[in-house]
Amino acid sequence: MIPDPDPNTIARPYRGLSVQEVDVPLTEVDLVSFLLGREVYRRTDYLVLRNGEQAALVTVRKASDEPLFSPVVEARVLAGPDELAFIGSPETDVGNATALARVALRHARPGVRAYVVQGRYEHVNFIWEPAPVRIRVTEVVPPEPPKLFAMAEQVVAFDEDLPPIELVADVVDIRALAAAHPAETYLLPCRGSGVDLGGEVAFLDTRPAERRDWLMVGCERSLQFHRHFYGDEPPRVDICPRRTRPLDDGLTLAKCCLLERGVEFEGSAAVVPWGSNLDEIRRALRWLTGVDTHDEAAVG
């Protein structure tokens, strides 16, 4: 017997789902009888069968995947009309599992297991029992929105191999750190982190001509730069997400200025460089969600 899909299952690619109008009752007996022996396209694994305002989700096994069309040899109704919600969402990319899950959860109701979404370009897909993977994104602010979080959202939007993902921002706030460590003068790593901290602010990337009696709010790399510029180490408040946040508290995406390129894996965390690119973040997310193995994520 064909088993239930795993949670978060979608048709990959969405052409694996066929939508058809039928004039038979949407019951297990009637639909299985209707489909057995009927030819379907070789890429069709799921069908949404509609009768009036009602719909059912069915999965099929074909005699062969080789010819263009092949007869159905086994069929199972996964969700009847009471377990299926059909949603119109013209802005949704139905090839993207996260987009499908977001729409489905906005329309969630008790008893529904399958959410069928008609989205952008009239394309249709479904998601089964949506349960997004929660990933904590640890990043420094300002600037806002956090750059790593925004880039992770970009990756989630274009990588159609990923399962549904819920990105949760976990910020290291320079303003809060400065407030907890009052000083007359602060030294921040760069002008991109410029913010009113209640005291005079200097920026290390401008290499101030005069060494001041400042409190550095920065990372280990900033400390190395300071040592090179001025020959000493000032008092410092560390902002490194890798050092200031636990990396074993669920799936975590973090960054570290000491990492030049690539992705490092530590427990349930993936760490990318401070100036990471989309490909590195993509590798990290694919490893965190189990799409790729450690080796594939490291060299893919």
Per-domain residue ranges for the chain? 9-128, 132-300
Distance CA 273, CA 298 (A): 13
The mean pLDDT of 157-162, rounded to a whole number, is 96
Distance CA 217, CA 65 (A): 61
Question: Measured on CA atoms in the order 86, 89, 95, 100, is the torsion positive or negative?
Answer: negative
For the chain, first and last CA: distance in Å? 37
Distance between CA 121 and CA 242 in Å, rounded?
42
* CA 99, chain centre distance (Å): 10
- Give residue-wise pLDDT tens across range 223-279: 999 999 999 999 999 998 888 887 778 999 999 888 999 999 988 999 999 889 999
171 to each of 79, 218, 223, 242, how far by Cα in Å?
Answer: 41, 14, 21, 12
**What gap in Å lies between CA 55 and CA 49, rounded to an integer?**
5
pTM score, two decimals? 0.89
Which of 261, 266, 267 has its CA nearest to residue 281? 261
DSSP label of 7: T
Whether pLDDT at 185 is above 60: yes
Listed residue (43, 45, 100) closest to 35, CA to CA:
45
Taking the C-alpha atoms of residue 297 and residue 256, their distance in angstroms, rounded to an integer, is 18
pLDDT digits (tens, 9 = 90+) for 269-291: 999 998 899 999 999 999 999 99
- What are the tokens at 205? 């990337």
Q: Give dist(CA 83, CA 42) in Å, integer.
A: 27
